[in-house]
Amino acid sequence: MNTPPDLWEYRLQAEDSGQKYMAILRHKFHFSVKLLQHLKQGERVWVNGKFSYLTARGKEGDTLSIQLFSTEEANIQGEDLPLDILYEDEYMLAVNKPVGQVVHPNRRYPTNTLGNAVVGHWERKGESRLFRPIHRIDRNTSGVVVIAKNQFAHQQLAWQLERGHIHKRYHGFVEGVVEEDNGIIDLSIGFAPNSFIKRQIQADGMSARTLFRVLHRYTNVTFLEFILETGRTHQIRTHCEGFGHPLLGDDLYGGTQTLLSRHALHSSMYAFLHPATRLPMVIRAPFPKDLRLLLIKLRDLDTDNP
């Protein structure tokens, strides 16, 4: 039997001897129950080049091979749109999302989304895949978005995200001068009254923690780095308002648009373990044009007001 070329492989170690392959995949590599059930369909599991059942037991030195790359029918219409690719391999794609683009199509934005752009990119490469973003960022937040290219990669990255093993950093500009050099905003978040979009600080909301560090203080503006310990919707935007320093341009959360017409927030870094190799990955996204121009404006204002 000729095994397919696209395989995930693992060579069993001494501690794996006597264990079922299913147990090794489940407990050592965090394969989900759903993914293991999917692998039972057809001859997708081989040991030393021969078909095997997941319930068989392994021994040291066995080469366990898993076929992960089955053809999938795209769940989104592909479009020929610009796409700023930061990294891509057979498991994942990382892009620098522009300002004003929604991640996933919805009733209000059925086309011109990041999903349409990604699927169109894959179609031009002759690939048919589902669009599986690991996380989402707001329409007017720019920066890193990571997309899994198959069920295995999605499950592996989602597992890391759920357990806080993925580190995300944002950069933003807030109104006023933040006096503390660094700190933690630990304020619970819930829905604002009569709104399906806006959040607010509320004692009985979901716990949320944002770490911040001052990078530079301008005249009445502070440039901050944010690290999320939790991933609530609008977390940074809500915390900045509750902290008394709304993001520049964020009129939904108390910011003014004198210097910028959208909230000044950028997803700048995403660090995690590669879903297949388990080697550390760091994806960085440079600032878009509007934030680069904002930096120039702020420096000019400081020069005018020494």
Q: Are strands 265-273 and 142-148 parallel, antiparallel or unpaired?
A: parallel
For residue 72, what are its two tokens? Answer: 């999938």
CB contact at 8 A, 6 and 25: no
Q: Give whole-number Cα distances, 104 to 38, 195, 288, in Å.
A: 25, 21, 20
* Partners of 175 in the β-ladder: 221
- For tokens 């620098």, the residue is 96
Dmax over CA atoms of the chain, in Å, equals 76
Which residues are CB-neighbours of 201 under 8 A, at least 6 positions away?
187, 188, 189, 238, 239, 241, 242
d(CA 87, CA 92): 8
The catalytic residue among 16, 80, 84, 138 is 138
Q: Which two tokens stand for residue 100?
A: 């004003």
Residue 178's nearest CA partner among 211, 210, 209, 214 is 214
Query: How far apart are alpha carbons 41 and 202 in whole angstroms?
Result: 47
Q: How far apart are CA 207 and CA 154, in angstroms?
A: 26
Q: Is 89 a catalytic residue?
A: no
Any idea which residues carry the catalytic annotation?
Answer: 138
